[in-house]
């Protein structure tokens, strides 16, 4: 099978995607014919024959690169290589986007694949767009009976006095974040009113809406979910923080934070976490795979945080580690993701 792997992306998470893509490509080695397209930070698509090491080092543009495009025409089912001498074609059986954040994990690329009639690994347009929007995702999870943090949304022209009043009503500390972003970009913990407006303005650098929500006590747990109809879950993991939030540096370097797989929680709690994760996955119409992140409070309440429809995919990332804990290594995860995509073949 020819698998088109998309990596990079016009997103603040470009760099993270390079590492995930290297993980996925290594896990596919020998079983698929790989077609790789790097999307630059500016959003240009380039076919590349660079291997995972060069991709990981962001050196993939040093070799031969050819401007490329996925035709939206359903009859094409191929990657078009836009060479000076003319248009070349490489057949594509399935697209595996390994893109994080805007313009990749948010339903845009998924829409292009659906339009082109190409099987797609992971969530489709609807689930991707909903999961990228933390506010709408909370509303749907709440309707499905899952507890969510109390909070409110502000747009660019927000009224400062009103924002302070509403934040106070939640009681300090509060978390302020872009409605649509990832990798902790623009996320702040605010402990008193003076910090609120700068935090909102910071969040609004990444998106045109900011979410202010109550701080949930306890710790974060994640749950890997795979499937279309019948769902399989990984073993939930636990984020042990030394600081106030799981920020960009901690996520990728784990300087003071630690990840525990499985989470150090009783089996009944782990079962409840899995059940809640499946419920959220269904409420957001997820398919293929997603990582559902939840908070576990000291009283044992499970509170929804967010869904990552394209979670980190390096060999040490959370999703693969959670699946490895139930006996599926990254190669098996990738095979399953492709098999699930082919079930959906348009
Ligand atoms: N309401 C909250 N209560 C407690 N911690 C939070 C809350 N919201 C976010 N955090 C902390 O901030 C981190 C990043 O926020 P999150 O909403 O998960 O954004 P991202 O999509 O960037 O991962 C979380 O991993 C968690 O440590
Ligand atoms: Mg998160």
The predicted-structure confidence for 233-284, as pLDDT tens digits, reads as follows: 999 999 998 989 998 888 888 889 999 999 999 999 999 999 999 999 999 9
Q: Rounded CA gap, 8 and 283, in Å?
A: 29
In the chain, beta strands by DSSP E: 2-8, 33-39, 45-48, 65-70, 78-83, 86-91, 94-99, 151-155, 174-178, 188-190, 209-214, 219-227, 231-233, 237-240, 258-260, 288-296, 302-308
- Given a cut of 80, is residue 346 above it in pLDDT? no
CA of 212 relative to ligand 2 center, distance in Å:
15
> Which amino acids bring their CB within 6 angstroms of ligand 1?
149, 175, 177, 181-184, 187, 213, 215-216, 220, 245-246, 293, 305-306
What CATH class is the domain 151-214? Answer: alpha beta
- Given a cut of 70, is residue 345 above it in pLDDT? no
Instruction: Report the pLDDT averaged over residues 25-49.
Output: 97
Architecture of the domain delimited by 131-146+217-343: 2-Layer Sandwich (3.30)
Domain 2-120 fold is Rossmann fold (3.40.50)
Residue 243 CB coordination number (10 Å):
12
The predicted-structure confidence for 201-223, as pLDDT tens digits, reads as follows: 999 999 999 999 999 999 999 99
Q: Rounded CA gap, 128 and 290, in Å?
A: 10
Q: Rounded CA gap, 215 and 174, in Å?
A: 5
Closest-CA residue to 309 (of 328, 292, 333, 334): 292
Angle at 236 between CA 233 and CA 237, to 5 degrees: 145
CA of 91 relative to ligand 2 center, distance in Å:
36
- Tell me the pLDDT band of 181, cut-offs 50, 70 and 90: confident
Q: Determine phi and psi for 179, rounding to 5 degrees.
A: -65, -40
Helix H or strand E encompassing 109? helix 108-116
Its pTM stands at: 0.96
The predicted-structure confidence for 71-122, as pLDDT tens digits, reads as follows: 999 999 999 999 999 999 999 999 999 999 999 999 999 999 999 999 999 9
Q: Rounded CA gap, 85 and 222, in Å?
A: 49
Proportion of the chain above pLDDT 90, given as a percent: 91
Give the closest residue (by CA) to ligand 1 atom 1: 215
Boundaries of every domain in the chain = 2-120, 131-146+217-343, 151-214
Give the closest residue (by CA) to ligand 1 atom 2: 215
């Amino acid at each position: 099978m020819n698998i088109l792997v998309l990596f990079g992306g016009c997103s603040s998470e470009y760099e993270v995607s390079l590492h995930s893509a290297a993980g996925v490509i290594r896990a596919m080695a020998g079983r698929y014919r790989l077609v790789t397209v790097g999307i630059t930070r500016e959003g240009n698509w380039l076919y590349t024959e660079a291997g995972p090491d060069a991709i990981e080092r962001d050196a993939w543009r040093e070799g031969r690169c050819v401007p490329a495009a996925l035709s939206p025409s359903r009859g094409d089912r191929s990657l078009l290589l836009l060479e000076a001498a003319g248009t070349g074609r490489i057949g594509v059986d399935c697209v595996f986007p390994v893109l994080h954040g805007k313009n990749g994990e948010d339903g845009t690329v998924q829409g292009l694949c659906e339009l082109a009639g190409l099987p797609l690994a992971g969530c489709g347009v609807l689930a991707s767009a909903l999961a990228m929007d933390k506010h709408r995702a909370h509303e749907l999870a709440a309707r499905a009976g899952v507890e969510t943090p109390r909070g409110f949304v502000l747009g660019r022209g927000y009224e400062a006095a009103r924002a302070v009043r509403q934040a106070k009503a939640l009681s300090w500390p509060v978390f302020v974040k872009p409605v649509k972003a990832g990798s902790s970009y623009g996320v702040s913990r605010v402990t008193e009113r003076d910090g609120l407006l700068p935090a909102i303005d910071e969040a609004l650098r990444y998106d045109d809406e900011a979410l202010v929500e109550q701080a949930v006590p306890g710790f974060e747990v994640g749950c890997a979910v795979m499937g279309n109809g019948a769902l399989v879950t990984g073993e939930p993991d636990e984020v042990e923080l030394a600081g106030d939030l799981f920020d960009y540096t901690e996520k990728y370097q784990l300087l003071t934070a630690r990840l525990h797989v499985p989470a150090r929680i009783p089996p009944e709690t782990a079962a409840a976490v899995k059940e809640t994760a499946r419920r959220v996955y269904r409420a957001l119409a997820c398919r293929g795979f997603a990582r559902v992140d939840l908070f576990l409070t000291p009283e044992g309440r499970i509170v929804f945080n967010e869904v990552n429809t394209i979670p980190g995919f390096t060999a040490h990332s959370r999703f693969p580690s959670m699946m490895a804990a139930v006996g599926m290594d990254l190669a098996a995860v990738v095979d399953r993701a492709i098999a699930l995509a082919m079930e959906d073949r348009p």
